[in-house]
Amino acid sequence: MLKIKEENLQYVYQNNEKKGVIIDIPTFEAVMRMLEDHEDAMDFEVLKTEETMDYGDYRRHRLK
């Protein structure tokens, strides 16, 4: 599981409200990998119901 350290975050404020966040590049890359893995898992669930494909083969195909 991805753990984001509070010290790696900088907040963007507008009118004393948090409107955004600035994160370091390694944290951003980790979040992107996590989202891609989640997307792959969701795509695989669809494939599993439509056709049979080994998950390892599916991952290799997606990473090409």
Classify residue 57: in a domain, yes or no: yes
Tell me which H or E stretch contains 20: strand 17-23
Find the domain containing 35 and state its range. 25-64
Provide the whole-model pTM.
Answer: 0.47
Return the H-helix or E-strand segment holding 54: none
Beta bridge partners of 23: 9
pLDDT of residue 52: 65
Instruction: Please tell me the total count of domains within the chain.
Output: 1
Mean pLDDT rounded to a whole number for the chain: 79
Q: Does residue 3 fall inside a structural domain? A: no
Write out residues in the chain with pLDDT < 50, as ranges: none
Q: Indicate whether 10 belongs to any domain.
A: no
How far is residue 18 from each of residues 13, 25, 37, measured CA to CA in Å? 5, 20, 29
